[in-house]
Amino acid sequence: RMDQALLLVRNELPAQGLRLAALSGACHQCLYQFLAFVPPSNGSLREPGTAAVMVDTQHPLTLLLNSSAGDRELCKIQYHFGEFGNYSLVVKTLSTSTKTVSCDLVINEGPINSCLPILFAFLVYMGILAILIVGRLFMKIDPVRNWVYKKLNPREMDRLINSELGTPNTTDSVSSDPTPRLWSTASRQRLRSLDTFRGLSLIIMVFVNYGGGKYWFFKHESWNGLTVADLVFPWFVFIMGTSISLSLSSILRWGSSKWKVLGKILWRSFLLILLGIIVVNPNYCLGPLSWDNLRIPGVLQRLGFTYLVVATLELLFTRAGAESGTLEMSCPALQDILPYWPQWIFILMLEVVWLCLTFLLPVPGCPRGYLGPGGIGDFGDYPNCTGGAAGYIDRLLLGENHIYQHPSSSVIYHTTMPYDPEGILGTINTIFMAFLGLQAGKIILFYKDQHKQIMSRFLIWSIVMGIISAILTKCSKEEGFIPINKNLWSISYVTTISCFAFILLLLIYYLVDIKRLWSGAPFFYPGMNSILVYIGHEVFENYFPFKWKMQDSQSHAEHLTQNLTATTLWVIISYVLYRRRIFWKI
């Protein structure tokens, strides 16, 4: 099967059977998992005892061979098997006098390179990009452009050729429909980098949700650590916070009352939560949706509640004249922070609540402050403690049937407890993530058109967040005070992802809005219709042409082709909607 190899164990020891166990290199402080019993060799027939097992190829494995008599350890081998490889592990006695046992791993059939489809897909997309760039350059040549326009619209071309000057004069332009000019002005005022950032996060999220070619690094990390899939949702939350700052500033500047704006915030939050519960609910796969198995937390639910808190916080404590610089500041270098000190106090109080609940809340049967996955982790001492306080709060308040049933920890750590990565306690740090994005928006507002100031402050925030992450994690995946963990939405996870987010926003802002070296395409288009693309990709996930029956379901290449095709279709759909000026806003 995909991500597996065949291992044939040959036991040439005449008098003792073997017990084969394995431990994944991705499983921290885990128990060895029994794989097979290998019978002793038949001395009279000189036939070795054999056993065939499937081994995982996603991560390095440690194989442990023990004697079935006395459970004596005979050998231990660390090896990273290759996908679809065929291996033999030969166990024999080197010396009858010393009873020294040797374990030799032999490659019978070499594995395939499962990453080649990624390279091929990359080359295909680069080829398409090269063709588009060359085509755009050719379109800047007048004869080529005129020939193309004539082929596409010959009547209009003839009219221009037969007209007095061949091009409309200034009077004609002024007297014509002014809508394009107004749209152009609006486009210049809107920062394309924000929509590009949002679209990039969204497209990676769609690709990951569709399966990511079934590669492990396009799936969520089993517990501590980061993969590509763990980056995109917090980036989306981050840019939502940035948009809140810019949109509320614009609305209030146009004279809308705060009560009216608050009503819009409440309505939008309600719609996001409702869509998440009713439309985008993964428990549909369990059959007709009912209250018995309805998943209450979710991505849109968390976005809705986070939006409610952060937008209300910004609305309540925003100060007139602060962004325009008319307020006197004792420290001008902190003019985007000091006027909003009540917001910072509120956020710090939320973080204190998260820390207290996480490390001080008593959880039955679990050590206080437990942050582990449970299952076979921590040497199997706390199998039912998945997520510690975070999991306990969800199971207590929402019920086991109303949270996510198949967490990412179940694969590596063999956990059996339901756990929701979008649960209640983690929402606190999601609010903090959006608040950091809100701070990025304030920087853009306070230092409008001061590009060096904006970029330098993005860089400073990134460095600060990186330093905090280094302290919290001790620059380690497993040994820090608070490890990076997407399932828990740990504080170190937020500071690490926000460190990357500030840097990424800086780069996109520089390329798209300052130097205009990049238009933001193709990510700009889904970024302009993010809610429609997200809900659409969830609702139509199992429908053609986004999904079809595969010839070989155990092929990374076929899964990658299907997932990339589906993701590309949503980019094309968002482009068509953009060209037709169709935007779904909540």
Per-residue pLDDT in tens (0 to 9) along the chain, 586 residues: 889 999 999 988 877 888 999 999 999 999 999 999 988 887 655 788 889 999 999 999 999 998 877 678 888 999 999 999 999 999 888 766 557 788 889 999 999 999 999 999 999 999 999 998 888 888 888 887 787 777 776 554 444 444 433 334 433 333 333 333 333 333 345 789 999 999 999 999 999 999 999 999 999 999 999 999 999 999 999 999 999 999 998 888 888 888 999 999 999 999 999 998 887 766 555 556 667 788 899 999 999 999 999 999 999 988 655 565 555 566 667 777 888 889 999 999 999 999 999 999 999 999 999 999 999 999 999 999 999 999 999 999 999 988 998 899 999 999 999 999 999 999 999 999 999 999 999 999 989 889 999 999 999 999 999 999 999 999 999 999 999 999 999 999 999 999 999 999 999 999 999 999 998 989 999 999 999 999 999 889 888 999 999 888 889 999 999 999 999 999 999 999 999 998 888 7
Measured over the CA atoms of residue 156, residue 157, residue 160 and residue 163, the dihedral's sign is negative
Whether 20 contacts 63, CB under 8 Å? yes
Whether 346 contacts 315, CB under 8 Å? no
Q: Catalytic: 220?
A: yes
Amino acid at position 371, single letter: L
Which stretches of 223-340 are DSSP H helices?
Answer: 229-253, 258-278, 299-317
* Number of Cβ within a 10 Å radius of residue 159: 11
List the structure tokens of 252.
Answer: 């209030």
Nearest-angstrom CA–CA distance, 92 and 347: 63
Catalytic one among 28, 59, 220, 537? 220
* Number of Cβ within a 10 Å radius of residue 407: 25
Domain 4-109 part of CATH 2.60.40:
yes
Amino acid at position 531, single letter: I
- Cα–Cα distances (Å) from 502 to 433, 453, 460, 510, 520, in that order, read 11, 14, 9, 12, 17
List the structure tokens of 147.
Answer: 């020939």
Cis before 60 (ω within 30): no
Nearest-angstrom CA–CA distance, 350 and 136: 51
How would you class 549 by CB atoms within 10 Å of its CB: exposed for 0-12, middle for 13-18, buried for 19 or more?
A: exposed
Which 3 state secondary structure label does DSSP give 86?
A: strand
> Nearest CA to 504 among 234, 212, 130, 170?
234
